[in-house]
Structure 1
Amino acid sequence: MTPRSDVLYVNADVRTPAVPVADAMLVRDGHVAWVGPRAEAPAATRTVDLDGGLVTPAFVDAHVHATDTGLALTGLDLSSTRSAAEILDAVARHAELLPAQAVVLGHGWDDSTWGAAQTPPDRSALDRASGGRQVYLSQASIHSALVSSDLAALAAGSPGHDNSGWVSRDAHHVVRERAFAGITADQRRDAQRAALRHAAAMGIAAVHECGGPGTSSEEDFLDVLALSGAGLPEVYGYWGELMGATKARELGAVGAGGDLYADGALGSRTAHMRHAYLDGESDGCGFGYVTAEQVTEHLLDCHREGMQGGFHAIGDAAISTVLDGFTAVARKLGVEAVRDARHRIEHAEIVDKAMIAKFVDYGIHASMQPAFDRLWGGEHQMYAQRLGVARSLASNPMGQMHAVGVALAFGSDSPVTPLDPWGSVRAAANHFNPAQRMSVKAAFAAHTRGGWHAVHKDGEGVLAPGKPATFAVWDTPGGRTGTLPDLLPVHPDEPQPESPRCVRTVLRGEEIYAQQA
């Protein structure tokens, strides 16, 4: 008989619904066996003192791109650049470290943060800065990129090609595939491990990997799924290919959706809007990539395969198209069949009340990224530049959606925004529009239980007897109220409390991260 494995964690505030106050938790064979006051704790093989820390369910990040995240963590990060000149300087410094035939891969530039001068460097300038190497620099949204002349030439004639070297739409997919083709299998796996290790260090025990044509290759997708739970966070894959439910199942995905693009992104002016962008062409409303009929057929394909489906949809025109497809499927199969599938819409940034009502009707899970509002919302940032203040303040209405019962699953879309779950919780509770704010408690639930519920793992994301022992331990220098950290100042003119720091992450009883002494 295998010896019983049990560990008693003590000297911590445990967030649990099982008892009113708990400062100890017994873990046995990967599950919570008991939780309560230490004075009443059962005997255990081993005792771990958590030094007054806070124990909560671990986070789930409901939308990530592991390879891109790892490359951003270990490569050329352009998120802090604030001008074309700074991009060129960063490219030149990075290129000097690379072999002559290497591709310069960078990510994160955001022209909306550059002030008045928002003209990116052109392809000729990138050619010079890189010493003639190929250059691919994805914009923060990953829906467009700045590329060198040779890569730009590959996409000539494709929709989204621009002679300057800033590519979007189909042209972006062409050059992205070519740029990433030079990454070796070992480099790719190293990047994926780096991303998942970083996730664990942020208290994240599971991620939803979003792959598919135009986003990643099948090999990339299979590689990251193979790392799931191997001393790292669990990975739940979504393969975004139209009519691809069979392939998604063959690849080991839990759903045929994720980055199945109904439109593009606001940062690239390719999100499909009902009304034109204010800072682009006078009639520019972005682009829709699917029809309502295609949405219908894809979801029916998912139902035939017993798969969860979904779409990436950001603009109100794109979301309306996707919801029309849901309506058609509900007429064919019945509303309850649609609700039971827990289909998803990723991002759902520009939605109105009528659309939100359909999310509720059809049980659609909204996979949202609160950091989008923090980085680009409000009256002065990118959304206001692209859409105007009124549409900016109405964007990412997660508080309104939560209030009427939309199922929410929070994530980062990393590397679009960083892996920072407490930062996302804070952003949801501190939305630029007070009418769209939600409580820290509700936002935390969306970033924990919401992520598990979205992959049909009901009952996970809570620490109670019989439940998986998947949790994180936190140092809370900003203070705590009960079993949640203080994330917001008491008074508006005070600084934000310091963010919690992860000390330990445990997945089903196995430690996948421990802070070094």
Structure 2
Amino acid sequence: MAVTGDTVVWVGQDGPGHALHPGADVIDLDGAFVAPGFVDAHVHATATGLHLTGLDLTGTRTAADLLAAVRAAIRPGEILIAHGWDESAWTEPRLPSRAELDEAAGGAPIYLSRVDVHSAVVSTALVELAPEAREADGWSPDGPLTRGAHHHVRTAIRAGITAGQRRRAQDAFLRRAAEQGIVSVHECAGPDISGETDLADLLRLAAEPGRPEVVGYWGEAGAVDVARRHGLRGLAGDLFVDGALGSHTAALHEPYADRPDSTGARYLDADAIAAHLADCTEAGLQAGFHVIGDAGVAEVVRGFQLAEKAVGRRPLAGGKHRLEHLEMIDPDQAALLAGWGVTGSMQPQFDALWGGEDGMYVTRLGSRAAALNPFSTLAAKGVLLAFGSDSPVTPLDPWASVRAAVHHRTPGSGLSARAAFNAHTRGGHRAAGVNDGLTGSLVPGAPAHYAIWDAADLVVATSDPRVQRWSTDPRSRVPGLPPLDPGVPLPTCLRTVRAGQVLYDVFTPSA
């Protein structure tokens, strides 16, 4: 492959390449391979960076573990922000009381978000910084805060983060993305997520040389001025139609299996959804929504139907609107969404983390769990798929996401390796409105967005037809890649390049 400036100019065999490009700087990959750079279509940069630089609760398995981690991490004069507990995987599901948290925190404000980031356990000192939480929906005097109460304490957290903390967190996030072969991320910001200042700071930092691209989205209806002010792609991402399954706030038609008195929470109705779609279509912006539960998806479909009557089918489809997560959807709904040109921005690691016969999905939904995250159905109906992590909910690890999409926990719901890889590369670019037929592939004329991977030891010697092999058909524009079978180590990134500029590099060419 030959690159001039920011563009791939030639792909072929070595001999003709040397003849066509005499005097070029040559890098011998010594067994490494080149593939298109990944796109993570749903991230929360500052929250991830705070997670990377702070306290990680993903390894806790009991309330005692969590309290011990808090005691060890408290720093005088600072708010403690930590993430990742998941009581559904604990050996003892009891959460610590607020009194226990207060004792462990020594009077400091602490915010400990659940793995899905839709609820948190907090200390009394943090509640005192957000007294409105006590009167809001989702308030609990002793347990996790959800819904409006959670939004209030999260606002207080944002106000307590210093500019220096924010920059360190965002820098850590961008560096980690580059280390994972990611050339572009879609930041899903909003007034209930991170704040306008946070988004503006992230966009400025990402504009510095040697950074992955950040495509900005703002999850707020009626905020066209915000989108224009920051040059955002759309008013999409986490504009919440509902919540999350783990926190019992995803909107369901039927009650939760483990909470029969609840069908979750729905924050927007079809009329509000339709109005937002129409406003964004007319403004030339992408609209989009966070939607997980089946009742939430049904409301979104009704919203699209109303929006079509208002603006027309062709303009609505031309808006290339998007839906985040889209976990509970049936084939008929998928076909309708495809007709409106909707992108499904999905996270395969959700299934790897919570799927299966004894995972959180089954605990929350019973037999309904098997139908979650139906990648193959969506693809077959023509919905564009764009994969991401929802980091910090799941890690920035695109190869793990591709593997999870291939090896779905429900047989028949996964994708081929080629389709999964495309959803995490070209699909992400298309989801952000780049549909030139080149970006996200390695062909002459394409932007030089690529990563070099060490996969010398990732060889599976077997004739078993069940072992997943990558397509080597040149028409697929997907190079021959290593297997992603369970138990096989994932490739290691050696170099990440965007538009010909090196973002990350540990690769040393041979003399």
| Residue deviations 1:82-126 (CA, integer Å, cap 9, x gap) | 11110001001111xx12x211110000111014x2121111111
Which range moves more in the overlay, 439-448 or 470-479? Answer: 470-479
Secondary structure at the counterpart of residue 142 of structure 2: coil
**Does the Cα contact within 8 Å between 1:148 and 1:165 map onto a contact in 2?**
no
Query: Whole-Å Cα distance in 2 between the matches of residues 113 and 487 of structure 1?
Result: 29
Which range moves more in the overlay, 475-484 or 127-136? Answer: 475-484
Secondary structure at the counterpart of residue 118 of structure 1: coil
Query: Whole-Å Cα distance in 2 between the matches of residues 131 and 228 of structure 1?
Result: 37
How far residue 245 of structure 1 moved from its aligned partner, in angstroms, is: 2.6
**Matched AA of 1:258:** G
Matched, 1:508 2:499: yes
| Residue deviations 1:5-36 (CA, integer Å, cap 9, x gap) | xxxxxxxxxxxxxxxxxxxx111011001111
**Does the Cα contact within 8 Å between 2:48 and 2:169 map onto a contact in 1?**
yes
The equivalent of 2:476 in structure 1 is none
The equivalent of 2:458 in structure 1 is 478
Select the residue among 421, 425, 443 that pairs with 2:420: 443
Secondary structure at the counterpart of residue 94 of structure 2: coil
**Matched AA of 1:196:** L
Query: Whole-Å Cα distance in 1 between the matches of residues 381 and 274 of structure 2?
Result: 25
**Does the Cα contact within 8 Å between 1:152 and 1:165 map onto a contact in 2?**
no
Query: Whole-Å Cα distance in 2 between the matches of residues 44 and 235 of structure 1?
Result: 35
The equivalent of 2:401 in structure 1 is 424
Q: TM-score, normalization: structure 1?
A: 0.91
Secondary structure at the counterpart of residue 324 of structure 1: helix
Select the residue among 111, 118, 122 that pairs with 1:147: 122
The equivalent of 1:94 in structure 2 is 73
Matched, 1:31 2:10: no
**Does the Cα contact within 8 Å between 2:370 and 2:410 map onto a contact in 1?**
yes
How far residue 361 of structure 1 moved from its aligned partner, in angstroms, is: 1.4
The equivalent of 2:233 in structure 1 is 254
Matched, 1:107 2:83: yes
**Does the Cα contact within 8 Å between 1:152 and 1:167 map onto a contact in 2?**
no
Matched, 1:373 2:355: no
**Matched AA of 1:314:** I
Question: How do 1:306-321 and structure 2 match up within 5 A?
Answer: 306-321=284-299
Structure 2, gaps ≥5 residues long:
460-468, 473-478
How far residue 189 of structure 1 moved from its aligned partner, in angstroms, is: 1.2
Matched, 1:400 2:400: no
Which range moves more in the overlay, 428-437 or 146-155? Answer: 146-155
How far residue 429 of structure 1 moved from its aligned partner, in angstroms, is: 0.2
The equivalent of 2:22 in structure 1 is 43
Question: How do 1:34-73 and structure 2 match up within 5 A?
Answer: 34-41=10-17, 42-73=21-52
**Does the Cα contact within 8 Å between 2:286 and 2:320 map onto a contact in 1?**
yes
**Does the Cα contact within 8 Å between 1:62 and 1:208 map onto a contact in 2?**
yes
| Residue deviations 1:171-209 (CA, integer Å, cap 9, x gap) | 001011112311111210111011011000000000000
Secondary structure at the counterpart of residue 469 of structure 1: coil
Secondary structure at the counterpart of residue 170 of structure 1: helix
Matched, 1:414 2:377: no
How far residue 484 of structure 1 moved from its aligned partner, in angstroms, is: 4.0
**Matched AA of 2:291:** A
Matched, 1:127 2:118: no
Higher strand share: 1
Question: How do 1:454-493 and structure 2 match up within 5 A?
Answer: 454-458=431-435, 459-476=438-455, 477-479=457-459, 482=472, 483-489=479-485
| Residue deviations 1:143-184 (CA, integer Å, cap 9, x gap) | 110000132352112100001141000000101111231111
The equivalent of 1:6 in structure 2 is none
Select the residue among 332, 337, 347 that pairs with 1:359: 337
| Residue deviations 1:421-468 (CA, integer Å, cap 9, x gap) | 000000000001111011010000000000000111123101111110
Query: Whole-Å Cα distance in 2 between the matches of residues 407 and 144 of structure 1?
Result: 30
RMSD between aligned residues: 1.3
**Matched AA of 2:482:** D
**Does the Cα contact within 8 Å between 1:504 and 1:515 map onto a contact in 2?**
yes
How far residue 472 of structure 1 moved from its aligned partner, in angstroms, is: 0.3
**Matched AA of 1:244:** A
**Does the Cα contact within 8 Å between 2:40 and 2:424 map onto a contact in 1?**
yes
The equivalent of 1:13 in structure 2 is none
Query: Whole-Å Cα distance in 1 between the matches of residues 403 and 261 of structure 2?
Result: 36
- Number of residue pairs the alignment of both structures matches: 482
Secondary structure at the counterpart of residue 73 of structure 1: helix
Query: Whole-Å Cα distance in 2 between the matches of residues 301 and 44 of structure 1?
Result: 54
Secondary structure at the counterpart of residue 400 of structure 1: helix
The equivalent of 1:270 in structure 2 is 249
What is the percentage of aligned positions where both structures have the same residue?
47
How far residue 45 of structure 1 moved from its aligned partner, in angstroms, is: 3.4
